[in-house]
Amino acid sequence: MIHEELSREINGAAMEVLNDLKPGLDEKLYERAMIVELKRRGHLVSVQSSFPVVY
């Protein structure tokens, strides 16, 4: 795997977030919690950009 260590860090952060928040919440809450957890682990993280959608 090219980025094995980074993959382990991301998976570990995701498991930490899921164990703390439990399943069933809005996706945006998990996304924000992942940002916090990854920053705690020393990673540089940026949030998703929003853009208008016309349908």
Whether the per-residue pLDDT at 8 is higher than 90: the answer is yes
- Structure tokens given for 41: 């682990």
pLDDT at 50: 84
Percent share of the chain, pLDDT over 90: 76
CA distance 52 to 30: 22
pLDDT band at 47 (very low <50, low <70, confident <90, very high): confident
Closest CA to 45 of 30, 37, 35: 35
3-state DSSP percent of the chain in helix, strand and coil, to 5? 60, 0, 40
Return the pLDDT at 1.
61
The beta strand positions in 1-55, using DSSP E, are none
Q: Residue range 20-40: average pLDDT?
A: 93
